[in-house]
Structure 1
């Protein structure tokens, strides 16, 4: 099998080994032109590049985890590293079993529905519809804008005054 055909199977199945100088990071968002902003466990944020071999195979979204290798020429540009591997939930579970996963407190939130922590024993009667809202799909690539109720109340009052 040629190397080009082997890349997709390597990305999806093989567990990437963490080499010297490489670090785990969480993706905060895309900045365009295959540049992503990532955050390390210590809170340090930097810009990294997605190499061409991943561009048409893997979509990196906000909240996913990657392995980063710092660039040697980081002083000359704002991009300070490259994405070596994009991690999937199976990869994260294997790293957790090995005891080298640094994001312990954020693991359950990023994976979504973890069987151990879901608390759903399978005996849903359908009585509590509010509890089912947690199972809905949440798009992590959209910024959540919260509106306050005071704005809508003041608009309603001005509408009533205009009607008089």
Structure 2
């Protein structure tokens, strides 16, 4: 049977594992063949404070880290038309929203109400010609998440060992 100390320890581990703050993501995509610029890859990273999500309805969280590599340019917070943000619906990530109208080409990343699979990058050349590209997003595990998982596994192993030794006596 579990005693009160064991239950309190397990509850503390569960709560600590939920206390992760920064969610970090990588994204990779390519410019589609139909636009005026040649097919090419783009990529980047972004982070936000996931503790600010209510997981209810439409939400937008300002990004705490942002980087986009596209068209030979490194886009960051400098030069954005507005603060880059992540879009959500009921806690589900829909994509990233950011635009650079003063860059050449002008670039924007647009979220989709249907999910990340339909989010896209759009660009406009100086001649006014448009093109698009799709992208995928993958989560980056935080070191604290790995450490907390390892601590939990070690604690469960210690409890199991202690219980096994107690039953042998």
- Fold-level match, TM-score > 0.5? no
TM-score, structure 1 normalization = 0.28
TM-score, structure 2 normalization = 0.27
Higher relative contact order (CA 8 A, sep 6+): 2
